[in-house]
Amino acid sequence: MASEIDPETAGISPQKPDDLSHPEHAAPKSLALAIGLTVLWPGAGYVYFGRKVIGILTMIIMPFVIFLMPQVIVLCWAVMIIDLVILNSKAKREVEALATKPCPHCAEKVQMAAKVCRYCGRDI
């Protein structure tokens, strides 16, 4: 007869499904807000997207670059906005990868909670 182990007495912290620190439950970041922050203060969009080191360095360095060469600001904005668009698409792919799994029979992506593949109709 197997005995049940209480996770709390065994020193194991049970997983909570509503744990918001897990990337699967993280709120999606707004690309428009990141671009707006970048235009207002170069580097702030990076901090918003979670790239804190590059964002803070950019926030420190860019005022000096803009002061010395003001014509560079448009080029810098363009490069940062393109990078933020790439980061946004990468983040969307990561969220999709966490929310889906491949069907073992047909290899199509299905939702994690799926019990039957919507493509081949077989049990998962």
Three-class DSSP category at 118 = coil
Which two three-digit tokens encode residue 71?
């014509």
Q: pLDDT tens across 23-51, in order? A: 444 567 888 898 888 888 888 998 998 88
Higher pLDDT, 72 or 52: 52
Three-class DSSP category at 12 = coil
Q: Are 26 and 12 a contacting pair, CB within 8 Å?
A: no
Q: pLDDT tens across 85-96, in order? A: 998 888 888 888
Any idea which of 26-30, 51-55, 115-119 has the lowest mean pLDDT?
26-30
- Compute CA 53 distance to the chain's CA centroid, rounded to the nearest angstrom: 16
Q: How far is CA 23 from CA 6, 57, 94, 95, 114, in A?
A: 27, 25, 9, 8, 20
